[in-house]
Amino acid sequence: MKRGFVLLLINIVALVGQPASASSEGCYARCVTQAQKAQARHAINFVFGGHAAAALRVARCESGLSVNAFNGQYKGLFQMGRGERARYGHGPTPWEQAIAAYRYYRASGSDWSPWSCKP
């Protein structure tokens, strides 16, 4: 229960403290700022704990650490498909996407078999 509350609190803080949009810094929509990559790394490290190094390798390969990455139906840091997002969750923040990916990772037997990219 305490960890759930902490995750919720961190998610709220992340939403309030979002950096300026990439387009305001001269980047296009698919550009990922260093601050956005740092937020993604922090969220993945916290959510995945002891499995964070592997999760970071997968997310870097799948999305370049962009929460806005997409390839057809696959979206977000971990490029989860429509069905997986409906089942495990999704959202605009790295926290929501990391939590959803962790749920999917655990449901798949704590391995990376559902992902194209492997650690």
Span 19-61, pLDDT tens digits: 444 334 445 445 889 999 999 999 999 999 999 999 999 999 9
For residue 106, is pLDDT > 60?
yes
Mean of all residue pLDDT scores within the chain: 85
pLDDT (mean) for 53-75: 97
Model pTM score: 0.76
Q: Within 10 A of 24 (CB to CB), how many other CB atoms are there? A: 8
pLDDT value for 31: 80
pLDDT at 72 over 50: yes
pLDDT for 55 equals: 98
Q: Which residues make Cβ contacts (< 8 Å) with residue 11, sequence separation at least 6?
A: 93, 95, 96
Main-chain phi, psi angles of 80, to 5 degrees: -85, 140
Confidence band (pLDDT; 50, 70, 90) for 88? very high
Helix axes 2-16 and 94-107, enclosed angle (nearest 10) = 140
Residue-level pLDDT at 7: 54
Classified as helix, coil or strand, 14 is helix
DSSP H/E element including 75: strand 74-75
Task: Tell me what the mean pLDDT of segment 72-89 comes to.
Answer: 98
Longest distance between any two alpha carbons in the chain, whole Å: 42
Domain boundaries, the chain: 2-107
Q: Which is more confidently placed, 15 or 112?
A: 112
Q: What is the pLDDT at residue 11? A: 52
Beta carbons of 56 and 41 less than 8 angstroms apart: yes
| Euclidean distance between CA atoms 43 and 114, whole angstroms | 21
User: CB of 80 within 8 A of CB of 25?
Assistant: no
